Structure 1
Amino acid sequence: MTLLRGGLALPRMGLGCMNLSHAYGIPPSEEDGLAVLRAALDDGVTHLDTATLYGGGRNEELVGRALQGRRDEVLLASKGGMEMVDGVKVIDGRPATLRVQVDASLSRLGVDHIDLYYLHRWDKSVPITESVGALASLVDAGKIGAIGLSEVSVKTLHAAQEAAPIAAVQNEYSLWSRNPELGMLEATRAAGIALVAFSPVARGFLSDSVGDPAALAPKDIRRAMPRFSSDNWPANEALLPAWRALAAEAGCTPAQLALAWLLSRGEHVVPIPGTTSIDHLREDFAALSLSVDVGLLERAGDLIDTDTVSGPRYAPGPASEVDAETFEDPA
């Protein structure tokens, strides 16, 4: 367990629920999505992560259905400040908007309290202290338990801490996305803040499940990501044979090795893999009990890293929406 500010205990791994409703091609049916969530609960998964954005609210509704009669079994995390409006993603961190969105999340989830609530993106037109101050008032009102930030820089984290305690930062972190190593990994460790790692298996790349990006569903978000483009994919795909061999040497699957590497980065690092498969769910969480040689983990870090991976995380448009440090412009 990772102890958050305020005494909130966060399990070492959580389930990212996004792809049950959003982003990666055609989501499963509601009943199949519920089956995954209920299997997770039955297997002892105690941290679920959702958001206002995912599926235009449908993901929170799905999670809420799964939690009926079982709310006390989980640490429930959601996010606001980014939502779908008439089919368009809108980032809005104004206090009034956040208050409305928290109430809407509570309603969709069917709960009276969300344990951990993130500002999904910093709205750069609103001072971070104003957005975080609004969330602090919702902590005081008992609607949320702790405040998190997502895709932020160390500078923004420090500014936010002037307004209220921050319990968690959720940034992308995996072998092929090392941006937290530009300062956030150490800043969160030093402050006693959880670093929640989304996309810990590199959007399927490190689980060796992508195949041909050209065959992805038309609305799959990876189609617009540079690392899956025809310019970069061949170089990235060329890393996979050695990656598979390294996982075989470790006696685990490629996804498990990716998660074991992340878990080794610090007790405060909390991966939240997502899946639409019960088998893959169990495969991912089995990584918690793996014992992988330190030397092999170091070799994994040398094989897949910023120098060996081709292409940036995001195309210019999406990149402009995030605040986290980048290797393209570390300053």
Structure 2
Amino acid sequence: MKTRFLALLVAVLLCAASAFAADSPVAPNQRRGVEQTFLTYPEWFLVHSPAEYAAWVAAHPAHDFPFIGHARQIWSSYASVTGEQLRRHYPSNLGYHVMIMVIAGSTTVEYALRSAYENTIGRLSWSVSDGELTAEDRYGARAAQEYVDFIRKEPWYLFDFTARLKGLWATTPALGPNMIRKWERRYALTSEYAVKAVYGKLIELATRAAYDPALLTTQVVVDRAPSQLPRDVKLVRGVEDGRAVLDLPRYYGFRIAATELARAGATLQDIAGNTGDILVTVWLNADQPVPSGGARVLFEQPLLTMPGKRRVALVLPVSGLSSFLLRADESGVKVEHVYDY
């Protein structure tokens, strides 16, 4: 597996191809390569995974979270999207691969260390408690959810870990039941927030030096503009043939805005200069069929904290995204994310 993945990666870094629709009405500075719909998946897994963690620790001790399983899923999904990039001869985008290797590598190290700690010291402190979450456990769960809510819209390194560290010591009582568990959690959370505060500042400095600030909107082309635009959607200009160029929020908000546009009767035809493939992930039950309508399965992953559920990554044409979102909305299929390049 490792040899095959390295071979795929080397081949991708050597390939190049044009990705944009030649006649796209999208502004040149708003166009992004088609390969990014695939390469953003490993980056977004580092939102999906903390979201699972936050939901888990709200009701369970952290030592039962599948850290190692999630680390494996980072790399297996990276191999899948890299393979797709190679098969379709998409642009190499070396810089994005370097970024993925950094964040996936650092997350793997973090998860390995946390798994080792939680399954020794963390598990021991839980075993001598009465089985109830402490104030520190609950504080950590709230901070984990605040982190997820933040990184769905902003880069993780801008999250204020220092404020969470101060809040831990200022708002949780030093004395109370399960003293061993309380102070072990206090130590674990203090260490986590302190390390991430420092590491986040270093990553922020490196990112600002290496990359331009990320655009917070995605320009799209629709077959027609609805009479009333959804919230957070702005009209950029009309096109002579009756189509319209719109500004949609990027990242987490894109799926919401695109679904609202579909409900209003508009069909997406071009996203960030792309009219070809786009990646979407959905949650399905174990025996639930994959939604039809031209979607192709790229890979599947079990949702490790939700037995009986799986994440399915689907490739579909941009022109079919609006109808897909409508069908998913009507049938109750949970669309996790639309990877808007």
Fold match by TM threshold 0.5: no
The alignment's TM-score, normalised by the length of structure 2, stands at 0.27
Larger Rg over CA atoms: 2
Q: Normalized per residue, which structure has more helix? A: 2
